[in-house]
A and B are shown apart, each in its own frame.
Chain A
Amino acid sequence: MQNLFNVMELDKGVRICNYKTDRFKTGRVSFNIAVPLGKNASAYAILPYILSRSCGKYSDFSELNSRLAELYGAVVVGSVTKSGESQIIRVSINMVDDRFALDDESIFEKCSELLCDLIFEPNVENGVFNSQDVDREKRFLLEKIESEKNDKRVYALRRCEEIMCEKEAYGLNCYGTTKGVEALTPQSIYEAWKSLLETGVMQINVVGSAGANEKVISEIVKKRLSKFNREHLTSLDTNVIEKANEVKKIEDRLPIKQGKLVMGYRAGITNQSENFGALRVMVDLFGGAPYSKLFMNVREKMSLCYYCSSRLFRQKGIIMVQSGIEEENKEKAIKEINNQLKAMQDGDFNDEDLKSSIAGLTDTLMKVCDTPEGIDAWGYTQITEEKFKSPENLVEEIKSVNCDQVKECAKKVTLDTIYMLSKEEEEK
């Protein structure tokens, strides 16, 4: 397996990550900009949505969509996520490769220009965003925040994060807050846009056969960025807390049929890259796969649930365990999940288990580059890392892990928060 990622610094805080290949029928370009997750979160959160639905040239989404339809159904997507305590604003375009054009046009070039128009030449008049656009996107974002409640798994996970990290920036929602979004104005959003392009850390990912044009992309981006003063870049730090104090226990009630249990742990690391391979294997053996402790015991042996799994949020150094259970089984499930963590800490697993986990994780990593979306996601999640790693680099780290290291990792894990979303009491 060959590393095809070509990463270069275009300028201070601007990285281009180019992946050249002929094996896809499509090309893809994404702009990713990271800023600290903080009090301005709502304004930054609305930007990718505003930027991906119009620009100076195509001033409403119908015009833009007609243009995209002409470009063989190219797809523009705006989104926002968080990685550790950074908020990442993303706008991407996905298009068919030039060889499928029905005439001789270069779809890639036109799509790249269009993407830059969206980000750098938005629908702005007299130094403010269009107020109709702003009103519409505010409504969308408010409804999106409200609708997080619809998916009870996501909602319970969000609530546990919020409670566990209430004094840390990580407790904030990447979409901002209802109050924050309501207060946004065409002016304040314009200020946020300027600050995003002046201070944000950028990574531009390019995937496809047209990747040969990385020079073209570099030139386009350089030219557009020259209009912005990028002297004072932001720094992206995440506060990683090594150990939990006492266990917080919180229960919410909603009119639902199945309870959702979320247990939040501190992973016992002090920075994002510490002990990475062993920690990945530990979380996988604990609850990441069908051969894991949680699946084999809480689901298969005890029939308590349909799902019970653990997940590592490496950039923040936390581990979340999630399960959907009957409320009356809550204590039983908590006890068993604790028992299984204890088993990991006691080293109750063997070389065979370790081999399974290494094989599973390695296999997954090696599949990353078989879709343009996978390549793009691999690239952007490293925006906050100084040193870019390829999937091959991580495969090496994981292959070198041994049982003792996994056991040592497990010993450092401490329980921080137990969150339960339960049924509302029946009305009398």
Chain B
Amino acid sequence: MSNIKEIKNDLLNDSYYKIEHESGLTIFVYPKKDYTSTYAIFGTNYGSIDTAFKTSDSDKFISIPEGTAHFLEHKLFESEELDAFTRYAKTGASANAYTSFDKTCYLFSCSNNFKESLEILLDFVQHPYFTAQTVQKEQGIIGQEIKMYEDVAEWQVLFNLLKALYHKHPVRIDIAGTVESIAEITDKTLYDCYNTFYNLNNMALAVAGNTNVEEVLEIADRLLEKSDNVKVKRPDIDEPKEIVKDYTEEKLSVAMPLFNLGFKETNKEPVRSLKEQICTNILLELIAGETSKLYKELLSKGLINTSFGSEYFYGYGFATTIFGGETKDPKEVAKYIKKEIQKLKENGIDNKDFERVRKMLYGRTIMGYNDVDGLANELVTSCFEGYDKFDDVEVYKSITLKDVEDRLNQQFNENYSALSVILPA
């Protein structure tokens, strides 16, 4: 029997259900009253950083070509008979898929024929069909996808930064791999990876919107095929805390220079807790958000424009804080940001500033609960990272200035930072 738990939040007046299904899959159902549409996402805890793996019933790590997870995502839509897109065409759902550093997800959204579309999703993700011929056809298409990203300056500035920060961690490689690495992929590679990572114990399904537990379970009970209880192990990567180099630049066809300034973190545990993430979000607002002194100063000096921003970039075994945008003088902006962080470390954070930012981010977090797409995606993430989705609102309510100050001192180390710049060609 499957175990069903209701998780409630009084403030939001919302509930979702977490189901440990007997097949091994974790299922989330988040009904949204009065919504017309439903969004479903079926994901595996497997992404571009998984270039080597070992299962709990074997003792050797196996290496696979860069870009395999993404390649597999493309190919899973095909089957011996009708491919998934052709089947979705009958239901009217919009279907898609994506591969990130540590996840591969298949999704659809619809306002009609939800059950039929969910059947298609559960069916095609559980039934791979790869041949030498179909693998070869995809190499041309993905080759063009890789080329397309080579012209996207925001993408290049990020990967150049990651290559400057990380010696060994596979976060430094492009999600789609390279034209050379994908040429090594065969139908057998795909089957090996599929059989390892697409074990239901390593996956999650989340459905949000115009739906309920009964209809999801009826389909899940019928279509999910029990997986052997095998766990996948990610290798421990011996990533030094030092960076590779502190500056990197490339020329591309852009109007004005683009920069990413990253601070590499060193952590013992590979996964960042929700509290750490939220402390960082507050810090980023305090340091460089639109209400910060630094933002105002950089604007008045003409050093940044509205493209300026920051993000916490983290996943399994990596975590970096990144500031970025367009500027006429990347080195100067980097200097200002580092100086501001130093100042905050020395003088501490003003309690009024902290409260203002906390209230703002608390409001923005609540705003996020409108969106069924975002909710379903976050439920899958929360499952792989091990927290409850509703914790985000609660953490914002309980977090203290001291939590944030502690994080500030631990997180930003100037010696482990690097600047990546794209200059106009």
Contacts and interface: CB of A to CB of B under 8 A. Distances in A.
Interface of A: 1, 21-26, 60-62, 65-66, 68-75, 94-96, 100, 102, 136, 139-140, 143-144, 146-152, 254-258, 289-291, 299-300, 303-307, 324-326, 355-356, 359-360, 362-364, 366-367, 369-372
Contacts of A148: 255
Contact of B141 (A72, A254, A299, A367): A299
Interface string B1-22: 0000000000110000000000
Given A70-B356, A306-B144, A258 B361 contact: no
B89 A23 contact: no
B291 A73 contact: no
A51 to B, nearest CB: 14
A188 B388 CA distance: 54
B268 interface: no
Contacts of B88: 290
B290 A65 contact: yes
A257 B32 contact: no
A403 to B, nearest CB: 16
B84 to A, nearest CB: 9
Given A306-B144, A363-B92, A96 B85 contact: no
29 contacts: A1-B36, A23-B35, A26-B366, A26-B370, A68-B360, A72-B362, A73-B360, A100-B11, A102-B359, A147-B254, A150-B153, A152-B152, A152-B253, A255-B425, A256-B253, A258-B147, A290-B95, A303-B140, A304-B140, A359-B92, A359-B112, A363-B111, A366-B111, A367-B37, A370-B35, A370-B111, A370-B209, A370-B372, A372-B370
Given A23-B32, A23-B35, A100-B11, A73 B91 contact: no
Nearest to B372: A370
Nearest to A359: B92
Contacts, number: 180
Contacts of A62: 291, 295-296
B386 interface: no
Interface in B160-213: 209
Interface residues of B, number: 72
B93 interface: yes
B120 to A, nearest CB: 13
B98 interface: no
Contacts of B367: 25-26, 73, 94, 96
A362 B89 contact: no
Interface stretch (B53-61, B224-232, B298-306, B408-416): B298-306
A291 B306 CA distance: 38
A61 B36 contact: no
B94 interface: yes
Interface in B20-78: 32-37
Nearest to A145: B255
Interface in B354-402: 356-357, 359-364, 366-367, 369-372
A99 B397 CA distance: 16
Given A136-B300, A303-B137, A324-B148, 5 more contacts: A23-B35, A66-B356, A143-B256, A324-B147, A326-B147
Nearest to A74: B363
A72 B291 contact: no
B140 to A, nearest CB: 3
Contacts of A102: 359
Interface centre among B34, B295, B300, B361 (most CB of A within 10 A): B34
Contact of B89 (A74, A140, A289): A289
Contacts of B89: 289-291, 356, 359-360
Interface in B98-148: 109-113, 137-142, 144-145, 147-148
B363 A72 contact: yes
Contacts of B34: 21-23
B151 A367 contact: no
Interface centre among B32, B91, B113, B363 (most CB of A within 10 A): B363
Contact of A371 (B92, B251, B302, B370): B370
Contacts of A369: 36
A69 B302 contact: no
Given A69-B357, A363-B92, A136 B141 contact: no
A140 B147 CA distance: 30
Given A25-B12, A306-B145, A306-B148, A254 B253 contact: yes
Contacts of B148: 258, 306-307, 324
Nearest to A100: B366
Contact of A24 (B144, B147, B251, B370): B370
